[in-house]
Amino acid sequence: MKNYGLYTLLALLLLFWGKAFGQEWEYSIPYQPSDSEMTRQYCAYEMSDGRIIVSSSFLFNVGSYAAGYPFYPPHNALVALSPEGEELAQNFYFKDGYWGSSYNPYVFENENGELFMLTTFSPDHESRYFNYFLNYDNPPTDAILGLYKLDDNLEIVESYEYSFPVDTAQGQDNTNPCESSGSIHLHSAILEGDCMVGVYTKNVSKDYNGIHGYDSLFFFRMSFDGELLANVGYEIPYSGLSWQMIFWREQLVPTDYGYIYYNNRSNVPPASSLIDKSRVIGGSVVYMDKNFNLLRIRHFKHPGTTNDPWTFDDVSIMRSRHNTTYFATRSNKNYEQGHDDCYLYEFDDDIEGVQEVVPVVHELHRGVYDFDFVAECRAVDVGDNFSLFFCYSLNVGASLGGDSWVVIEQLDHDFNTLREVYYSTDSDLMWSCAESITMTRDGDVLMTAHTKKLTDQSQQGSVVVKFPAEVFDGIDEAHENGLKVAIAYPNPGKDVLNIRTGLQDAWVEVYDVNGRLVHRQDITENVTGIDAGGWAEGVYVWKVMANGKEVEIGKWVKK
């Protein structure tokens, strides 16, 4: 009977792991670091006709895998998918002597349903690259802010470009030559009426002696006819693109009086003397009117921090339906080396607030092991039912080489978890890192992610997945769409087996290789820790039970 029980468990395990993905669809671009070129997908946008346009980067290989990240600087790229996830078109936008300094373009649609790409190009400083600007008789001295109208095949049919002289001196950081040289970087753009409003940084070459001067921050408004209606600049007290890269996308929100712009630390107008440079302060909240005149500057920080150094990385923000701002970030809050967690804050950033540091209305902290990441480009979105969706990756880069998962968490107004589901590509050990989450008009979920096999790191991929809204309705709906409702970590592990689930009134059972029950424990919190210190090394099977039935099963390896 014991062996029969084991075979039953293993059969169920194979059923779960071998199950074909049932999500609405998944579009994948596999690649290997040795490939001559690579397309990496970042943000998925739903158009009015149901098409999905994926903002992407296209890269050529440097020709040596030993280089670590073996690709030259990126070029802007787009992928068009049908409502059913079939590829309709794919294109990248190469310019002689330039690189795509916004990394992946912003996508907009005007009231006539016409498609536009808003992005930047900057002189290419990568001396190993055939595209290096010094190879040209007339090397570029300007960077470009461009709006491009596209046809159904993603071909450019109209171009509107604005050129700005930039510093073409070589940056001193040879590991990232373009990022440390003169460029412009578009790191926020939103649709407002019949115009686009955005923010870009004009950067000088990174010079540790500061001889090239300071960067500038520009707020602009552009029509779909390509007219630059406003372009207001402020000098900031830093130089070199690297200071801005942790706040590199989605940091501007509209208000009835103008805009709120979240920025890294003290990199804000009008002068550094007005800014608190304390490392406790994480960044600045800049209030501007419709003409980009500065109205006020406040600050934000991690709640509870005093003199501990802060970090904020991979920041993205979203305006709530009740005039607050959701702020997602990856951080080691108390400066723990080698340990990053995911945070979601709701800031009460009303311009009339009396506090110098914007108050935190709600806070959510998620993390399991070593490095955990919020979705890099967009980690938070708001659904039609006013619920909030938070996307992040757990256990990414674990020192034991274990599994990782993309988590999509549905929250109510008070940050209470309504549903939590987990995505991974297959039963093999995988590194899964979310890039963005976007809600469709019908309440479905579009997610982009980057994946890598831990057993063969040459096998990598970039995926776009569409999940129907029903995945959050219950356990069966999640399973039908290839998602888990409980996970175990770290896997492989040692003395502690953690079971993570958003389920209530549930318990976990653990069986050894002979099918014997070795542990049973009620699940009372989001994470249930099980002491496995006295267990023998080997393979165990865990089951999560809820509502009187088995709802999830998995394998855990103790080393």
pLDDT at 271: 37
Quote the domain boundaries for residue 524: 483-559
Per-residue pLDDT tens for 104-127?
Answer: 999 999 999 999 999 999 999 988
Read off φ and ψ for residue 529, nearest 5 degrees.
Answer: -90, 135
pLDDT at 281: 66
Q: Is residue 146 part of a domain?
A: no
Structure-token pair, residue 510: 């653990």
From CA 535, how far away is CA 308, in angstroms rounded?
Answer: 39
Burial string for 422-447 (b: 16+ CB within 10 Å, else e) reads bbbbeeebbbbbbbbbbbbeeebbbb
7 pLDDT more than 70 = no
Q: Name which residue leads in pLDDT, 173 or 126.
A: 126
Place of tokens 């979601």: 344
160 pLDDT more than 90 = yes
pLDDT at 245: 55
Structure-token pair, residue 503: 């389920």
Alpha carbon distance, N-terminus to C-terminus of the chain = 28
Q: For 169-183, what is the mean pLDDT?
A: 80
Element (H, E) at 4: helix 2-18
Domain of 498, CATH number, reads 2.60.40.10
Number of domains composing the chain: 1
Q: Which residues pair with 98 in a beta bridge?
A: 123
Per-residue pLDDT tens for 267-313?
Answer: 444 434 334 444 456 788 999 999 999 999 998 888 876 655 567 88
Element (H, E) at 3: helix 2-18
3-class state of residue 327 by DSSP = strand
> How far lies 456's CA from each of 448, 459, 489, 490, 557, in Å?
21, 6, 20, 19, 19
From CA 203, how far away is CA 183, in angstroms rounded?
Answer: 5
Q: Is residue 474 part of a domain?
A: no
Q: Is residue 548 part of a domain?
A: yes
Per-residue pLDDT tens for 486-540?
Answer: 998 888 888 999 999 988 889 999 999 899 999 999 998 888 999 999 999 999 9
Q: Is residue 64 part of a domain?
A: no
Q: For 261-270, what is the mean pLDDT?
A: 62
Q: Is residue 536 part of a domain?
A: yes
pLDDT at 293: 96
Q: Name which residue leads in pLDDT, 31 or 430.
A: 31
Q: Is residue 121 part of a domain?
A: no
Place of tokens 């402020």: 234
134 pLDDT more than 90 = no
Cβ contact 231:199 at 8 Å? no
Find all residues with CB under 8 Å of 548, minimum gap 6, and list them.
none
From CA 395, how far away is CA 406, in angstroms rounded?
Answer: 9
pLDDT at 273: 39
Q: Is residue 501 part of a domain?
A: yes
% pLDDT > 70, the chain: 85
Q: Is residue 214 part of a domain?
A: no
Place of tokens 């084991």: 6
Q: How does the average pLDDT of the chain come out, rounded?
A: 85
Q: Which of 522, 520, 515, 507 is nearest to 540 (CA)?
A: 515
Per-residue pLDDT tens for 403-434?
Answer: 788 999 999 999 999 899 998 755 556 778 89
**Cα 504 from chain centroid (whole Å):** 29
- Model confidence at 548, in pLDDT bands (50, 70, 90)? confident
If 0-12 CB within 10 Å is exposed, 13-18 middle and 19+ buried, where does residue 555 land? middle
Q: Name which residue leads in pLDDT, 220 or 272.
A: 220
**Residue positions counted in the chain:** 559
